[in-house]
Amino acid sequence: MSLSTWRDTAARLLDTPRAQLITRVCLVVAGVILGASIAATHHTAADFDVFWTAASHWWDPYDPKIIEHIKAQMHITGYWPFAYPPTFLLFLYPFGQMPLEVAYPLWTGLSLGLFALVCSFVIRPMLAALLVVATPAVAFAITSGQSTLLMGSLILSAFLFLEKRPVLAGILFGVAACVKPQAMVMAPIILWGHWRTVGAAIVTGVLMIAA
C-alpha cells in the first residue's frame, strides 16, 4: 500500500463522527489537565485574584476597602481594580465560594478545556488545536487567570453559528458583551445586517443585567 493510500485511509478514519468525538473529548481533557496543572504551580494570578476577590465579596465588588484588605492578606501591591461589569459575577460567583487554591486551577482548567473544544471546530486538522492551546499567549492567559480564553470561546462559537443559527450566535455575543463589553466595540460594524443576531444579543444582555 502506497503512502498516499495510507494517508487517505487515515484521513477517512479520523473523519468519522466517532473519531471526531473521541478527538474532541481528548482535547477537552488535555486542556483541563494542562490548564489546572499550570495554575497549580503558581501561587498568585493577577487577574484571577481580582476575579476571586470580587466574587467572594459579590455584594460590593468595587469597594476599595475590601480590595485593600485582600491585598494586605495576600501581601501584594499595585493597582488592583475589578474593571468588569457586575454581570461577569454571574460566572465568577461559584469560584468565589471556593478556596482560592481550588478556584484558580478550576477556572483555568475549565477555560482552557472550553477553548480547546471550540478550536476543534475551527482548526483543521482537528489535532492541530493542541498547538493553539500550547502557544505563549494561552500560557500567559492561564498563569494570570485572565478571562481571555472564555471570551475567545464565546466569540469564536458565535461566529461559527452566525449564518446557520443567528439567534444562538446572538445569545453568545450577548453573553460575551456582559463579560467584557470593551472587547465588543466592533460588534455593531461586524454584525450590521444580522438583525436577528443583534436582537438576540440585546435581549440576552437585558436578561443578564436583570439577573
> Would you state the cell numbers that stand for residue 15, as one nine-digit string?
473523519
What percentage of the chain reaches a pLDDT higher than 90?
Answer: 39
pLDDT tens track for 3-45: 455 445 545 545 677 777 777 788 788 888 878 887 777 666 7
> Would you state the cell numbers that stand for residue 36, as one nine-digit string?
489546572
Query: What's the angle, vertex CA 116, arms to CA 18 and CA 165, rounded to 5?
Result: 75
> Would you state the cell numbers that stand for residue 122, as one nine-digit string?
475551527
CB of 38 within 8 A of CB of 138?
Answer: no
**Count of CB atoms situated within 10 Å of the CB of 111:** 27
Q: Name, of 34-43, 115-124, 162-171, the range with top average pLDDT.
A: 162-171
CB of 24 within 8 A of CB of 127?
Answer: no
In angstroms, rounded to a whole number, what is the distance separating the alpha carbons of residues 190 and 185?
Answer: 10
Three-class secondary structure of residue 29 per DSSP:
helix
CB of 159 within 8 A of CB of 193?
Answer: no
pTM: 0.84
Of 22-26, 75-79, 157-161, 202-206, the range with the lowest mean pLDDT is 75-79
Cite the beta strand spans of 137-208 per DSSP E: none
